Amino acid sequence: MAIQLKARQNVENVPLIENQNGNWNDKWDRCKWALCKLKDYLIAEHGTEVVENLMQRITGVIMASLLAVQPAMMQDRNCFELYGYDVLLSDDLRPWLLEVNASPALTGTDNEDHRLKFDLIDDVLNVLDFEGRFSGHETRIGGLDLLWDDGPVWTSCPYFNENVHTRTIPNDLRRLNIFLGAINDRQKQLSLLKSQLIEKRKTNQNQSSMVQYCLK
């Protein structure tokens, strides 16, 4: 899940906002900000708490829109759909849903956009888990977060817990399990998940061998 800011950049590769007259200089080229850069910019302007609440509200918009059309969505367990969300932020940081694309473009327009979309496709394939590497109970794989599992998936704030899958977290501490714009080392996170699952399977195999030995 990612949000991008369409802006412009100068020859120093620094994204710039339009001038007071609403005009762009011809020497600037179109560019996009990754969500983490947009989040850093908003935090510098409005503060951490305001921006964290904004990310939670964006998540609420996404969840509400999906729930509204749930009966019309594909229900086949052997299929999946990838949606692209266009969200507009007003001056008071209120998120407005513009549209939802059922077939979002996955062609990169620049190096950063290419990396973002490549990682997105990689994460989708990891979630599908054709190799059977994961347990199926993960709440985060790569850059994708689990938001709904027969109800909202919560996590405690500000601490991240890979095993969070409960609704008993106190209301004043719980947040939706979403980390939009957070710094995320995908490769490290995926490697850690893999290592944990390998150790867990080894433990289960050893326990199974002990049970079989006792039965003999």
CA torsion sign, 55 to 167 to 120 to 72?
negative
Token code pair at residue 83:
């949606």
Residue 199 covered by a domain: no
Looking up residue 45, the CATH number of its domain turns out to be 3.30.470
State the Cα–Cα distance between residues 1 and 199, nearest whole angstrom: 29
pLDDT in the model for residue 124: 92
- At 194-209, the pLDDT tens digits run 787 778 777 776 655 5
pLDDT in the model for residue 6: 52
Percent of the chain having pLDDT more than 90? 21
3-state secondary structure of 101: strand
Residue 125 covered by a domain: yes
Other Cβ atoms closer than 10 A to 140: 21
Overall average pLDDT of the 69-74 stretch: 85
Q: Which residue has the higher pLDDT, 205 or 176?
A: 176
Q: Which residue has the higher pLDDT, 45 or 163?
A: 45
Token code pair at residue 117:
């979309």
Overall average pLDDT of the 115-143 stretch: 87
Q: Is 150 left (phi over 0), alpha (psi -120 to 50) or beta?
A: left
Residue 208 covered by a domain: no
Residue 86 covered by a domain: yes
Residue 202 covered by a domain: no
97: containing domain: 5-184
Pairing status of strand 140-141 against strand 95-101: unpaired
CA 77 from centroid of its chain's CA atoms: 22
Residue 193 covered by a domain: no
State the Cα–Cα distance between residues 106 and 120, nearest whole angstrom: 9
Residue 23 covered by a domain: yes
User: Which residues touch 169 (CB under 8 Å, ≥6 apart)?
Assistant: 154, 155, 156
Terminus-to-terminus CA distance in the chain, angstroms? 52
Residue 19 class from Cβ within 10 Å (0-12 exposed, 13-18 middle, 19+ buried)? exposed
User: Structurally, how many domains does the chain consist of?
Assistant: 1
Bridge partners of 88, per DSSP, are: 96
Percent of the chain having pLDDT more than 70? 71
Contact 81, 74 (CB under 8 A): yes
pLDDT in the model for residue 27: 43
- At 30-53, the pLDDT tens digits run 567 778 888 898 999 999 999 999
pLDDT in the model for residue 94: 93
Residue 205 covered by a domain: no
